[in-house]
Structure 1
Amino acid sequence: MATGTRVQLSGFKELGAQLKRLSTAVARNALQRAGTSAMEPMARLARQLAPKDTEELAESIDVGTVAANDKADVGKYAYHLAKAAGLSNAEAVTEKRNALRAVKGERGNYYADVFMGPVAGREKQDVIKGFVQEFGTLTREPQPYLRPAFEQDKGAMLERLKKEIWFEVSSAIARSEAAKARRAARG
């Protein structure tokens, strides 16, 4: 059984102060770029450690962001629950908006999702096979590849993440301030 992993992180107050200098979208994009860049070497390692009996698994391991649909799913679910409860369309839309606002409030303004692992192409079965390889089943022994990649690279990934966040956020601030200066110069 895998043991818990402890990491100590600091500097979030300072990071938050710098992120406040940016719009929410620009801050989120900077964090997503930093996370994606920092996790790519871990993904390469996971591809190397993936069982070789299925080449598709190694090829399916990717790094990306999941911000596109996770909030939309919350809204859709709230809308469908409201309709199932017999509420009108307008009331269901209100429930959807309230659910989306609650999600944004839980995550704060500067939130970014980044993932690393098998990605579904056209079929979810490919992803399921990847998790079966990692964890096994009652009849199949596990062949872990994600956890070992994480354990081998976690310290280096956190160092890369620190550098990438610094670079992306400071670059975004510089671009934002330059744009403000150009607008002020135009009058």
Structure 2
Amino acid sequence: MATNVRIEGLRELERALAELPKSTGKNVLRRTLREAAKPLINDAQRLAPDRPGRPRNDLPTSITISTRLNKNQRKATRGTDKSFVEMYVGPDVSVPHPHGHWQEFGTVQHGPQPFMRPAWDANKMEVLDVIGDQLGDEIMRAAKRLAKKQAKAAAKGK
């Protein structure tokens, strides 16, 4: 289940981001989202069920942030509007651990043990605050790097 979140009051940051080259803007957003997701990931790892007394379950250690989905997840989101940058938090899609959703939602044979939704509910305001606070700083740093790079290129050209 996808959750759409809208942050109001960031028009100036959006305009500043639009002034950057497209690839730089995407990188700025990705860095900001990676930083903002850290408390969510830490809480989800803490809440993810593990099997005491048995070999270590990879579920808690596989929770990460990524820009990619696996094949089945891509099929499920086909036809939805794509955003400029999309990041996903959950069990790593490159690790063969397909059972995260069974733990989260349960099966006929065992009840749900949610870990992602409670982590989001507990951390969503902190995540949104980090995005609001750090996005402006990241945009300024990227703009300074870009200006420095352009000045260096102009100096070489003369």
Short-chain TM bin: 0.7 to 0.9
Cα gap change, 1:63 to 1:170, in 2 (>3 Å): same
TM-score (norm 1): 0.68
Are 2:155 and 1:182 aligned? no
- Note the residue ranges of structure 1 that are not aligned, 5 or more in a row: 75-102
> Match for residue 121 of structure 2?
151
Kept in 2, the 8 Å contact 1:30–1:165? The answer is: yes
What is the root-mean-square deviation in Å for CA atoms of aligned residues? 2.9
Q: Tell me, what secondary structure is at the counterpart of 1:66? A: coil
TM-score between the two structures when normalised by the length of structure 2:
0.79
| Structure 2 counterpart of 1:116, from 89, 99, 118 | 89
- Alignment match, 1:66: 68
SS in 2 for 1:55: coil
Q: Which amino acid aligns with 1:112?
A: V
- Following TM superposition, the consecutive aligned residue runs of length 4 or more in structure 1 with deviations greater than 6 angstroms are none
Q: Distance in 1 between matches of 2:30 and 2:95?
A: 24
Q: Percent identity?
A: 30
Say if 1:36 and 1:65, in contact at 8 Å, map to a contact too: no
Deviation at 1:112, TM superposition (A): 1.1
Unmatched 5+ residue regions in structure 2? none
> Which of the numbers 33, 41, 44 marks the counterpart of 1:35?
33
**SS, match of residue 111 in structure 2:** coil
Inter-partner Cα distance in structure 2 for 1:118 and 1:10: 29
When Rg is computed on C-alpha atoms for both structures, the one with the higher figure is: 1
CA offsets 1:80-126 (integer angstroms, 9 cap, x no match): xxxxxxxxxxxxxxxxxxxxxxx9xx657xx1111110013453xx1
Residue 134 of structure 1 contacts residue 146 of structure 1 at CA under 8 Å; is this kept in 2? yes
CA distance in 1, matches of 2:10, 2:68: 22
Contact map agreement 2:103 2:114 (CA 8 A) in 1 = yes
**Structure 2 CA distance for aligned equivalents of residues 44 and 18 of structure 1:** 31
Paired residues, what number?
Answer: 146
CA contact (8 A) 1:60 1:119 kept: yes
Q: CA deviation at 1:6?
A: 8.9
C-alpha distance in structure 1 between counterparts of 2:68 and 2:94, whole Å: 15
Query: For residues 26-175 of structure 1, what are the structure 2 equivalents within 5 Å?
Result: 26-53=24-51, 55-66=57-68, 107=82, 111-123=84-96, 126-127=97-98, 129-175=99-145
Give the 3-state SS of the residue equivalent to 2:89 in structure 1: strand
